Amino acid sequence: MAGIGVIGAGYVGLTTAACFARLGHAVVCADVDEAKVEALGRAEVGAHEPGLAELVAEGLRAGRLRFVTGNAAALSDVDFVFLCVPTPTGPDGAADLTAVHAVLREARDAVRPGCVLVIKSTVPAGTTERVAAVVRRPDVQVVSNPEFLREGHAVDDFLRPQRVVVGAEDEEPARRVVALYEGTGAPALVTRSASAELVKYASNCFLAMKLSYVNSLAELCEQVGADIADVTEGMRLDDRIGASFLDPGPGWGGSCFPKDTRALLSTAEEAHVDFPLLRATIGTNGHQAHRVVGLVRDAVGPLDGARLGLLGLTFKAGTDDLRDSPALAVAALLAAEGVRLTGYDPCVSADCGPVRVLGSPEAVARDADGLVVLTEWPEFAELDWPNLAAVMTAPVIVDTRNLLPVDKVTEAGFHLVSLGRPA
């Protein structure tokens, strides 16, 4: 059993702390937010992440997990310190490493000899090697261990990961970090720190590229009379392509893809490497919200003064995260054209910008000139379509996730518009 300190009780830090406690380690998790720390000490987890609250409660009961305000207790008397602090997009598109540098400067004087500092935050290639100079401790090693946690699946992704990637210039501390994951059964890649850091960006940007590609393909399908569902099904049967991230939608968002695509592009530009494919991926995604508004306009008619109900506001199903949500990007464009917006999302209760949030799909449908499905919550596929049609001014649905059962919706009297499908 190792002693682990985790700096940051955000989405990544809290998952890391709770899951390492489940794996049998003694973990202390630090955060600057005193109210959050007090709540976590009572096993009150604010984030909507399946299984995480239960793991926190289990760790607290077993005495393997505790939460503290301030970093001192998570830096001293531990074998490993995991940095799980934000690396937001800076003004130039590059990752802002202010929080990483601040923690490393504090750790320089606080950690004991032999401690391994692990950067789990997403940082540009070369960061780990460069910041080792900030620590200036030959008895302390700095390694990279990027996270690959999907919101809504974070606990499962940590405890049953597809891979563990650790990067360091010295293999010995890297192997020590790999050993912390014993019991997960995951294959481990030990490499140089720059390579490990780039794995995270390369993975996320490739997935973003697939989504932008399939959204452009859906637009082409609409123009030539093809069905995107059949096209992507044919693609999925080719194991060279893979089955995931081939569903069209209103665009990609969340806490990772927008930040990571811009950061990788910034890294490429700094290295004087032209990366037009990544630039096009970002540009295509920026176009997608405008394309959705165009489909809504074609289906509903003049938008100024129209009333629309939005189904789904989070950036994807299974989370309460609204950061860079494509649903809100579409909502902002609709509001700018004079649309009155109401919305429903299973994990959102407060109004979001121009969207007045109501308590049920039926409430947003009442007297609406149309509905727009923006998040792929499974329960939206099971709604009472005849009842919704009966309370709407005009039974029109634009399904940007191709989630709804076409036969049931059209039989209820709806005019249904889906991405990449014939009308």
Rounded to an integer, the average pLDDT of 102-114 is 92
Share of the chain above pLDDT 90, in %: 94
Pull the structure tokens for residue 98: 């202010």
Rounded to an integer, the average pLDDT of 405-421 is 96
pLDDT of residue 369: 98
Closest CA to 200 of 237, 232, 171, 167: 167
What does DSSP assign to residue 368?
-
Pull the structure tokens for residue 5: 């300190």
Q: Which helix (H) or strand (E) holds 213?
A: helix 193-224
Closest CA to 82 of 124, 127, 134, 117: 117
Per residue in 118-151, pLDDT (tens digit) is 999 999 999 999 988 888 899 999 999 999 999 9
Share of the chain above pLDDT 70, in %: 100
Contact yes or no for 166/145 (Cβ under 8 A): yes
| Separation CA 297–CA 332 (nearest Å) | 14
Residue 413 scores a pLDDT above 90? yes
Q: What is the bridge-based pairing of β-strands 415-418 and 188-191?
A: unpaired
Per residue in 210-253, pLDDT (tens digit) is 999 999 999 999 999 999 999 999 999 999 999 999 999 999 99
Q: What is the bridge-based pairing of β-strands 370-373 and 307-311?
A: parallel
Closest CA to 385 of 370, 374, 395: 395
Closest CA to 364 of 324, 329, 391, 337: 391
Q: Can you give the three-state secondary structure of 230-281, one letter per residue? A: HHHHHHHCCCCCCCCCCCCCCCCCCCCHHHHHHHHHHHHHHCCCCCHHHHHH
Residue 14 scores a pLDDT above 90? yes
Closest CA to 18 of 367, 94, 45, 36: 45
Q: Which helix (H) or strand (E) holds 399?
A: strand 396-399
Contact yes or no for 30/7 (Cβ under 8 A): yes
CA angle 64, 68, 73 (to 5 degrees): 85
pLDDT of residue 133: 82
pLDDT of residue 422: 81
Residue of 19, 84, 256, 352 marked catalytic: 256
pLDDT of residue 212: 98
Q: Which residue ranges form the domains of the chain, and what is each CATH number? A: 3-191 (3.40.50.720), 199-423 (3.40.50.720)
pLDDT of residue 423: 67
Q: Can you give the three-state secondary structure of 179-205, one letter per residue? A: HHCCCCCCCEEEECHHHHHHHHHHHHH
Residue 202 scores a pLDDT above 80? yes
Per residue in 254-279, pLDDT (tens digit) is 999 999 999 999 999 999 999 999 99
Mean of the per-residue pLDDT values of the chain: 96
Contact yes or no for 379/344 (Cβ under 8 A): no
Q: What are the backbone angles phi and psi of residue 101, rounded to the nearest 5°?
A: -65, -40
Is 256 a catalytic site residue? Answer: yes
Please report which confidence band the pLDDT of residue 73 belongs to, taking 50, 70 and 90 as the band edges: confident
Residue 47 scores a pLDDT above 90? no
pLDDT of residue 134: 83
Q: Which residue intervals of 115-192 are DSSP H helices?
A: 127-135, 154-159, 171-180
Closest CA to 245 of 201, 285, 209, 220: 209
CA 161 vs CA 25, 182, 188, 240: distances in Å: 18, 11, 10, 21
CA angle 293, 298, 300 (to 5 degrees): 90
